[in-house]
């Protein structure tokens, strides 16, 4: 009997004990199965700058037990959870190998999840949501209300992990993908908790600790050894790094908002006109810094991650058509792999539904291909990531960096 091949969607920002537990649980359930991860790149779905570059984070994941890490194209990370989930699920399915998707959730009820996902995709449900939004409910509260009114499990609309699990299941159903979704209970702190609670602190809590001047070695109770090693690399002063990132974002947005009105912002993003109006009108708040500026704009309809994703979209200088016409994944970009991952890559030569990219090489060779728009955005986000971390003049790493092979 062939082994299952498991797919997981990740950000590993950073890889923590909860992620390690998930990999151990997968092997306890399925045996010593191959695991393929689809991971976000330089920016994560919350609209934040990743703690480390994609190749370094992918290598840490492989050392922890993932066999092959593929990049989630940046377009999907710079959109809401449904787009993020659909991009990842389609990418994993396109390997032609993954037959089971595993994700974390606040609960473990696959039947309830599948039923709720199917209901949420119905046209009548969409009309009900629109009516509730017109009454002034926030997007999340509208879904909770509609679920209760239709006697569905409204808990799938509460909590980041449940929302993502629901989004993964919807993507599977919408695209009729030949994969099964399995949820595993999240361990320890919730996704948004900022208090450092060993042994399973959330990634949010770990990033908050770094921002508050915790040295990486003090996080040994919540991070595996390889994650600690990555965070300690080059002895980075994290509070100073966060300050640099905020100052740079403040200057870049200040320059942009000096030239563009709210209609221009709308034409350079996927955001609503209302959010663009508020974004433009909040310009004076930039005097208090990027973080204060974003918090002043966020509300129930447009939470903080939505505002941050808008800011990043604007700094990447694409038009509205690019951001609003949902693309299909165009390639399988390899970030890191081990020996078993190398065997999976060989097998993918016969099974993959999309081109497999290891080291792209030259931008020129892709300019007239269907791969170019998404690949160019990956390159632009890599360049912006370097700039925000003070590496001025470092360009093109997306096209020149090879995957990490760990024997």
Give per-residue pLDDT as tens, 222-251.
999 999 999 887 668 899 999 999 999 999
Whole-angstrom distance, CA of residue 5 vs CA of residue 8? 10
Residue 44: the pLDDT is: 97
- The yes-or-no verdict on residue 6 having pLDDT over 90 is yes
DSSP per position, 195-230: S--SSS--HHHHHHHHHTT--GGGGTTTS-HHHHHH
Give per-residue pLDDT as tens, 30-76.
999 999 999 999 999 999 999 999 999 999 999 999 999 999 999 99
> Is residue 134 very low, low, confident or very high in pLDDT (cuts 50, 70, 90)?
confident
Beta bridge partners of 182: 102
Residue 401: the pLDDT is: 94
Give per-residue pLDDT as tens, 150-191.
988 888 888 888 989 999 999 999 999 999 999 998 876 555
Sequence-separated (6 or more) residues with CB below 8 Å from residue 88: 9, 38, 72, 76, 168
Task: Give the number of C-alpha atoms closer than 13 A to the C-alpha of residue 189, restricted to the C-beta side.
Answer: 19
Sequence-separated (6 or more) residues with CB below 8 Å from residue 204: 191, 192, 193, 194
Tell whether pTM > 0.85: yes
- Which of 190, 326, 219 shows the shortest CA–CA distance to 270? 326
Task: Quickly list H helices, 54-211.
Answer: 54-64, 74-77, 81-93, 110-120, 123-134, 139-149, 160-174, 203-211
What's the token pair of residue 41? 């790149």
Sequence-separated (6 or more) residues with CB below 8 Å from residue 69: 10, 36, 37, 38, 39, 58, 61, 62, 334, 335, 336, 337, 341
- Which of 53, 19, 71 shows the shortest CA–CA distance to 231? 53
Given a contact cutoff of 8 angstroms between Cβ atoms, the answer to whether 96 and 1 are in contact is no
Give per-residue pLDDT as tens, 280-313.
999 999 999 999 999 999 998 899 999 999 999 9
Domains of the chain plus CATH, in order, are 6-237 (3.40.50.620), 239-324 (no CATH)
What are the phi and psi torsion angles at 53 (to 5°)? -65, 160
Whole-angstrom distance, CA of residue 370 vs CA of residue 154? 40
Residue 190: the pLDDT is: 59
Residue 1: the pLDDT is: 37
Beta bridge partners of 100: 6, 180
Give, as one character, the DSSP assignment of residue 326. Answer: P
Average pLDDT in the chain: 93
Whole-angstrom distance, CA of residue 252 vs CA of residue 338? 39
Whole-angstrom distance, CA of residue 402 vs CA of residue 252? 30
3-state secondary structure of 298: coil
- Residue 213 burial (CB count, 10 A): 11
**How far is residue 157 from each of residues 120, 154, 162, 175, 224, measured CA to CA in Å?**
11, 6, 7, 21, 31
CA angle 397, 400, 406 (to 5 degrees): 100
Rg (CA), the chain: 21
What are the phi and psi torsion angles at 302 (to 5°)? -125, 85
3-state secondary structure of 405: strand
Element (H, E) at 245: helix 238-259
Q: Measured on CA atoms in the order 110, 176, 47, 325, is the torsion positive or negative?
A: negative
């Amino acid at each position: 009997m062939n082994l299952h091949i498991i797919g997981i969607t990740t950000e590993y920002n950073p890889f923590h004990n909860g992620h390690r537990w998930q990999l151990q649980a997968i092997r306890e359930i399925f045996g010593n199965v191959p695991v393929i991860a689809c991971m976000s790149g330089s920016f994560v779905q919350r609209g934040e700058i990743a703690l480390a570059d994609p190749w370094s984070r992918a290598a840490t994941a492989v050392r922890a037990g993932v066999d092959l890490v593929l990049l989630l194209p940046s377009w999907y990370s710079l959109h809401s959870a449904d787009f993020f989930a659909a991009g990842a699920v389609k990418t994993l399915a396109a390997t032609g190998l993954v037959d089971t998707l595993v994700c974390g959730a606040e609960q473990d009820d696959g039947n309830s999840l599948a039923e709720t996902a199917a209901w949420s995709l119905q046209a009548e449900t969409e009309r009900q949501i629109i009516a509730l939004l017109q009454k002034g409910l926030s997007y999340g509260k509208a879904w909770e209300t509609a679920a209760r009114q239709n006697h569905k499990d409204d808990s799938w609309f509460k909590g980041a992990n449940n929302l993502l699990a629901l989004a993964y299941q919807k993507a599977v159903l919408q695209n009729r993908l030949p994969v099964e979704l399995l949820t595993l209970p999240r361990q320890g702190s919730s996704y948004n908790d900022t208090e450092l609670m060993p042994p399973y602190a959330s990634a949010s809590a770990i990033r908050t600790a770094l921002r508050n001047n915790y040295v990486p070695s003090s996080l040994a109770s919540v991070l595996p050894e390889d994650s600690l090693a990555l965070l300690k690399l080059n002895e980075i002063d994290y509070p100073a790094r966060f300050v640099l990132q905020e100052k740079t974002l403040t200057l870049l947005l200040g320059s942009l908002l000096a030239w563009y009105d709210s209609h221009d912002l709308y034409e350079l993003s996927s955001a609503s006109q209302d959010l663009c109006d508020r974004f433009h009108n909040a310009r004076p708040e930039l005097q208090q810094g990027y973080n204060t500026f974003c918090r002043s704009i966020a509300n129930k309809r447009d939470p903080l991650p939505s505002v941050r994703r808008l800011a990043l979209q604007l700094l990447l200088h694409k038009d509205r058509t690019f951001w609003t016409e949902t693309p299909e994944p165009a390639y399988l970009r390899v970030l890191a792999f081990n020996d078993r991952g190398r065997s999976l890559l060989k097998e993918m030569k016969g099974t993959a539904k999309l081109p497999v990219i290891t080291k792209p090489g030259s931008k020129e060779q892709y300019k007239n291909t269907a791969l170019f728009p998404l690949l160019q955005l990956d390159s632009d986000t890599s360049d912006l990531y370097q700039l925000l971390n003070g590496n001025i003049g470092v360009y093109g790493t997306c096209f020149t960096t090879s995957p990490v092979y760990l024997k």
